[in-house]
Structure 1
Amino acid sequence: MKSEFNRASISAALGVWIGFIVGPNAMIAATNSNFLNVLPDALHTSRTNISFVLAMALWLNAAMVPFAGKAMDRFGVRQVILPGILIFALAFFLLSRMGVLWHFVALQVLLTTGATLTSSVGYAKVIAMWFDRHRGFVLGLCVALGAGAAQTVMPKVSSWLITDHGWRGGYMGLSAIVLCLGFPLVYLLVRAPRAHASSAATLDAEGNPEGMESAPELLGVTRGQALRQPVFYLVFFAIMCGSMALLGTMQHVVPMLLERGLALGTATTIMSCAFAGVVAGEFSSGFLVDRFNTPRVILPYFVCAAIGVMTVHTQNDMFLLVPGAFLMGLGLGGEVGQNAYLVSRYFGLKAFGAIYGMTFAASAVGNGTGLILLGVIRDQTGSYELGRYLVGAAITISILCIASLKPFVYASRRAH
């Protein structure tokens, strides 16, 4: 069988890797906690208000990303991602110039638009089109060494930028990274396979690709067919509730640990440990799902996430917080890293962008819900203590959903 690894596929994978480095997971999720610590004073408002705006941005992202995925199915990935990167960089720059809360609200809409267009939906589709037998491994590698590695260092980078140059300098630094590193390399490297590059615009009236059934990589169900399958909702709620617990905690972890008496440097170190776990989770889960070809591989990652997130919410001892944060990140890596993989194996690639856009939206909904609820809990009770019950219930639902998944429908060809 012809090798999936060649100059074109490796170049595309490198471009996807860069895209993940400068994407929303690294530039927003890994930095929001540091900005959340300083923006209330800078904008003369409360943490609840900032948390609410950030949550609304995530919910807006959830509403928009299925349409972005559908656009990628219709027009091609590059035609959506490249303008998205420019909008993303512009939004960060304008955030550095804001002065009042309504500026922050308006610019979060612009930032969310850019984040939606340059989300992992398009990058995951590129990998899925180039790779089948090694899809989990390559996707996990790109996410782990891209978004995961960037998430590990960006808490420290953003903390340094804010400490030395103020929050305005922090946003300007993020803008420079996205524009100067991300745009030129993604433009040069990210390409769909030639066989499918010209067929992206052939869709039926419902926005589902047609006329591609002869290409094995693009077999699958339509968006409407996916919505009639119970497995879609198991994946949807596993991702949504897992994100509520894990990503919601990630965005509050710095102020939460500061309020428990830890130093800023220690709190950002804990956050970096969590993102180091994300790298390990994304890479190892990708390798394992390719090898064993079953969704049950992901279940231990969600169990690790439950142990880790409860440790972060309840402990002050560094000897417990460091491994707890790592386990939380490990589980998050298994969840985020394999969301796209689960979609490709249960529903195929025919309408991958539209279907993955919906499960990606589930992550944004959960993230935003966890963010705002933890913020409300803190402001209404004076501490994050009750938050442990919220995240405990959410991660338990995720575990039950993953445990209920059946075997893959579109299994890797190596399994046949």
Structure 2
Amino acid sequence: MDQGNTAFILICAALVLLMTPGLAFFYGGLVKAKSVISMMMLSFGALGLIGVLWVVYGYAIAFPGSEGLVAPWSIDWNNIGLSALIEVPEGSAYPPLAFVAFQATFAILTVALVSGAIADRAKFGSWMIFAAIWATIVYFPVASWVFNFGLAEDGSFAYGGWITYGMQEWFGVGAIDFAGGTAVHINAGAAALALALVLGKRLGFQKGVHVPHNPPFVLLGAGLLWFGWFGFNAGSELAADGTAALAFVNTIAAPAAALLAWLVVEKIKDGKPTSVGAASGAVAGLVAITPACASLTPIWAIVLGLVAGAVCALAIELKFKWGFDDSLDVVGIHLVGGLIGTLYLGFFATNTGLIYSGNLTQLMVQAIAAIAVLVYSFVLAYGIGFVIEKTLGFRVKNEDEVAGIDTVVHGEEGYVLEGARA
């Protein structure tokens, strides 16, 4: 067993887990002051719930093994509860449970990302039910499509999900998604759009009405996300080697460029660059580089960041034009950013992109992967959310939304001045 790589994976897992509290701060600062506890609890609720489900059966669905092409929905019954993975097989590069822990943090974060679309108006209990069902029938299987694979002794694919192994068999190249552009960001963004449509608009929804109550929280959250994202991207190599180093550098370059591009667009469009814009631009760049971090040179990563920052800065305005209330721009940043990063590889992926290979095969498989995940996630998320809304109710009462849902749902306030209660 390679203790260096084992330590690397475990440290990266801890970094990625930190991203969920970071997301809670990022989202918490964007909502109104009377909803900050509720917003942050959606992330922490996902952390607790998905952490348990992953151990009980999530890993068994996401990584079922198997020879040949893994079915779109499979499960390895031997790995229910993970007891079979405690022993370290002889010759393993790292303990199986190190990989289990690393992938658990991806599942937690992906579910938490969805919550940004329903800020200020969602019931906590209904959110937890949605999160459990969506993770079970959407995230866990999609993770299998993308991340589950095994290698033969000669280093070639022995088995895997259809997005990687299957399309490699069919088209000669598989879709590239190094750290989760499809499985995490397109997946979460599509589900967020579905939930925004199910729950409807916040009261008084229009441009300029709902403003972030705490930009320092947003900046703190973005900083924690960026810090954790090094584990997210570099850690996906599962080894402390040159590929991890490339992913690390690109995780600096792309979001830095995206931050600048977002600010330039803001300055041109609105006259002032904002702190929330800087934070959002960095996150847009991080989203876009996620699938591409190991398959681009640093210069092409900067170009990707510039494109993602500018396009996402414009894409967040679509909710006002098209009339859907994606409260915290999960669609504009994660869905659009994930699509940009995934499709960009079709042109600029080292060796297989259009500029290197002279053909569009890589772009074709990237598009197939992106569209498949988007449609699958959106349809099922809409169905789950719709059933919950019509049965248990997903949205709080209008009067509770106006008053702020922290005290109604959680019995707490985000900010209590000394003597205010008296």
| TM-score bucket (shorter structure) | 0.3 to 0.5
TM-score (norm 2): 0.32
The structure with the largest helix share of the pair is: 1
| Higher relative contact order (CA closer than 8 Å, sequence separation 6+) | 1
